Amino acid sequence: MKSQPLTEEEIGEACRRLTGWAAERDALAKTFQFGSFREALSFMVRVGFEAEALNHHPEWTNVYNRVAIRLNTHDAGGKVTAKDVELATRIEKIAWVK
């Protein structure tokens, strides 16, 4: 079943609930900054388990202590869906930096 894109209003509401997340170019986006590369890498591993559990995987980059995450849904034409909001919510629950 194809995922349905959220409305601009729904995306805005999600961003208000998710500290530091923003709607950028058809994605939810946030950059996390950690104390070290090791912390950033351990965060990515932990997020990987959540992503795999949801079968919904982020687009992300890591440079030393920073992890930039973009979430959108391919089967919804690269738009933001409830899957993205769910993964962002799970990421927020495990992130020890905001």
1 in any annotated domain: no
Instruction: Confirm whether pTM is higher than 0.85.
Output: yes
User: What pLDDT score does 40 carry?
Assistant: 97
51 in any annotated domain: yes
Provide the residue range defining the domain that includes 35: 8-94
**Residues 68-85: tens digit of each pLDDT:** 999 999 989 999 999 999
66 in any annotated domain: yes
Q: With contact defined as beta carbons under 8 Å apart, do 6 and 85 qualify?
A: yes
State the DSSP H helix or E strand holding residue 31, giving kind and residue range, or none if neither.
strand 28-33
User: What pLDDT score does 69 carry?
Assistant: 98
Residue 1 has pLDDT above 70, yes or no: no
User: What pLDDT score does 3 carry?
Assistant: 87
User: What pLDDT score does 83 carry?
Assistant: 96
2 in any annotated domain: no
Total structural domains within the chain = 1
| CATH number of the domain to which 28 belongs | 3.30.1360.20
Rounded to an integer, what distance in angstroms lies between the CA atom of residue 6 and that of residue 2?
Answer: 13
55 in any annotated domain: yes
72 in any annotated domain: yes
3 in any annotated domain: no
User: What pLDDT score does 59 carry?
Assistant: 97
**Residues 24-69: tens digit of each pLDDT:** 999 999 999 999 999 999 999 999 999 999 999 999 999 999 999 9
71 in any annotated domain: yes
